[in-house]
Structure 1
Amino acid sequence: MSDMPQMTLDDLAENFALFDDWEDRYRYIIDLGKKLPPMPEAEKTEASKVRGCMSQVWLVVLPDPGPPKRLTFHVDSDAHIVRGLAAVMMIIFSGRTPEEILAIDADGIFARLGLDSHISPNRRNGVASMIATIQAMARAA
């Protein structure tokens, strides 16, 4: 996430708490998505497409051999809110070891942020697909 400083989950939760309503939080999520580095068109392939998302989402893993081995993810979407949710996924998962990624309680994090009850069922399915793809990449690493 080259245009934004390294953000932690606690930073994200604190920022969410600053907003009084969900309209402002959605704008913030969209702004996070705008700060994702652009994905080269060559990486937007059928192989990198996340299945199960209504919007188009592409996700690639960039392993850092370490030690310890860490996985950094590159993600993009053709929808602003989904790109923002993908940025949230990068804050949660990117730059961690495969073991750390597999130990993350993504549902608990989404509940902590309030996203579990404030995104549509279709978007929840897409987020679940992104999480499953990231976890599969961590298992394969």
Structure 2
Amino acid sequence: MTFQDILDTFAVLDDWEARYEFISELEGKLHPLLPHEQVDYNLVPGCNTRTWLTGSLIATQPPRIDYRADAETPLVRGLVALLLTPFQDQTPADVLAIDAMALLGQTGLDTHLSPNRRAGMAHFIERVYQIARELQSVTP
């Protein structure tokens, strides 16, 4: 699923209750954490719901990032899947070039989430970029 697919789905759903249900269903799109990755080191700081995120390079040419994540609730797992959609399987440089907040503005989520959830999303996105910067430094 692409980010455009998400925008197209949002456009046909009548209300935010239906959109939240769709977001919750996105949790199935997450690349799951490996058993040893659900540790405090991979917790995203600033998220009210415990949310884990890690990423590693896939041995492609050029190397791309495989982000893996989990969270304690279905809605947050769905939000995480939505947030990761534009970043998944991109090169570190491509990830760092994405304006995530502009993309999210297209969904309308920035005006329909609580301030705490918006802050958590910002912390999550910053962690996405941090992982990309770390992996970019080891990319040949």
Q: TM-score, normalised by structure 2?
A: 0.91
Letter in 1 for 2:88: S
Which of 33, 42, 50 is matched with 2:36 structurally? 42
Could you tell me which residue of structure 2 aligns to residue 85 of structure 1? Answer: 79
For 1:62, the equivalent position in structure 2 comes to: 56
The one of 76, 94, 108 aligned to 1:100: 94
Amino acid at match of 1:48: N
Report the more deviating stretch, 38-47 or 22-31.
38-47
SS of 1:93's equivalent in the other structure is coil
Partner residue of 2:133?
A: 139
Alignment match, 1:112: 106
Q: Residue 14 of structure 2 corresponds to which residue in structure 1?
A: 20
For the 8 Å contact 2:49–2:71, the answer to whether it is kept is yes
Instruction: List runs of 5+ in structure 1 lacking aligned partners.
Output: 1-6
Residue in 1 that maps onto 2:138:
none
Identity of aligned residues (%): 39
Distance 1:61 1:38, change over 3 A: closer
> Could you state the TM-score of these two structures normalised by the residue count of structure 1?
0.90
Calculate the aligned-residue CA RMSD, in Å.
1.2
- Measure, in 2, the Cα distance between the counterparts of 1:138 and 1:38: 18
